[in-house]
């Protein structure tokens, strides 16, 4: 088995066809290793932009790539894909996080109308593997490549990072260290076959459910208990939608406490995340004073 660790650089290019910005890939950098993670080949190409005409200043600053370099030495995106397909052959493709895969799917479908990447048969998310080994599982805070390298005590120059090839090499260094630790999770568990389900997952967009009639909503979740006595409260108004959150007033029949219940439903690929909150009602007299003051001015 061989592995290919790929890293990309991209530029935010405005597409007049799609009327939106596209993460246009401008550089591929990759290392290929044998099953023992020894480097057996390398890959590095610049891509001549076809959607955007200029690099945005942030990308220029971060990557030190210039417009001249790209237009003189860059090759068209689909030529790079063909070369990379030959290079990676039947290797397991690895990237740090899935944003590079998203960018590849976006670029490849832009130019060919097809979302299926020809070089992607087996995939491993290195970031997920490293987070798993280091026991970091906070969904809100993902482990960056530089942070991981620092945690592992790898000596690297910040200057050289943010270039595709250097980042691919650094990802390999992290992988090597973590696979050598005894009792660490086996890498095999993180290698997946790329099938329809993989693309469904990759192209799925997390969103809020804003229709109360949706079958994804569990109606039982919309009940609220009184935050003072714990008894189930009665809803006294219709649900109102504001900023993707539903809210309604509730009244507790036992202690006469009246409050506002808020609830939102975030649809992820294989779950609906429900968030609930109780908010105390504001006192009315103060509001009317403020209103009259505003009216007078």
Q: Which residues bind Zn ion (CB under 5 A)?
A: 226, 228-229, 252, 254-255, 257
Measured from the CB of residue 255, what is the shortest distance to Zn ion in angstroms? 3
* 100, 8 Cβ separation under 8 angstroms: yes
Contacts 24+ apart (CB under 8 A), 250-254: 250/224, 250/226, 252/226, 252/228, 254/226, 254/229
Nearer to Zn ion, 240 or 253 (CB): 253
Measured from the CB of residue 259, what is the shortest distance to Zn ion in angstroms? 9
Nearer to Zn ion, 181 or 255 (CB): 255
Measured from the CB of residue 234, what is the shortest distance to Zn ion in angstroms? 11
Measured from the CB of residue 274, what is the shortest distance to Zn ion in angstroms? 22
Question: CB neighbours of 252 closer than 8 A, spacing ≥ 6?
Answer: 226, 228, 229, 231, 233, 234, 258, 259
Nearer to Zn ion, 8 or 226 (CB): 226
* 221, 263 Cβ separation under 8 angstroms: yes
Interior CA angle at 71 toward 68 and 74, to 5°?
120
Measured from the CB of residue 114, what is the shortest distance to Zn ion in angstroms? 58
Element containing residue 124 per DSSP (H, E): strand 122-125
Nearer to Zn ion, 163 or 257 (CB): 257
Tokens of 297: 């001015």
Nearer to Zn ion, 133 or 252 (CB): 252
């Amino acid at each position: 088995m061989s592995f290919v660790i790929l890293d990309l650089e991209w530029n935010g290019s405005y597409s007049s066809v799609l009327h939106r910005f596209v993460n246009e890939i401008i550089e591929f950098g990759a290392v290929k290793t044998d099953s023992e993670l020894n480097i057996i080949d390398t890959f590095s190409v610049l891509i001549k932009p076809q959607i955007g005409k200029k690099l945005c200043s942030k990308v220029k600053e971060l990557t030190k790539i210039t417009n001249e370099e790209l237009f003189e030495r860059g090759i068209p995106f689909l030529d790079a894909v063909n070369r990379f397909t030959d290079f990676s052959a039947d290797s397991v493709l690895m990237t740090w996080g899935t944003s590079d895969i998203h960018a590849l799917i976006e670029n490849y479908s832009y130019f060919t109308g097809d979302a299926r990447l020809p070089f992607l048969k087996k995939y491993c998310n290195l970031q997920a593997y490293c987070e798993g080994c280091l026991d970091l599982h906070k969904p809100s805070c993902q482990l960056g490549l530089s942070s991981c390298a620092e945690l592992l005590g790898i000596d690297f120059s910040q200057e050289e990072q943010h270039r595709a090839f250097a980042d691919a090499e650094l990802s390999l260094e992290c992988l090597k260290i973590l696979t050598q630790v005894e009792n660490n999770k086996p890498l095999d568990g993180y290698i997946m076959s790329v099938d329809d389900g993989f693309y469904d997952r990759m192209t799925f967009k997390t969103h809020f459910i804003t229709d109360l009639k949706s079958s994804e909503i569990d109606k039982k979740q919309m009940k609220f208990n009184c935050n003072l006595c714990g008894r189930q409260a009665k809803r006294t108004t219709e649900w109102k939608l504001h900023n993707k959150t539903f809210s309604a007033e509730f009244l507790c029949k036992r202690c006469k406490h009246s409050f506002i219940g808020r609830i939102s439903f975030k649809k992820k690929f294989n779950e609906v995340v429900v968030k609930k909150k109780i908010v105390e009602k504001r006192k009315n007299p103060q509001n009317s004073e403020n209103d009259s003051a505003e009216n007078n001015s």
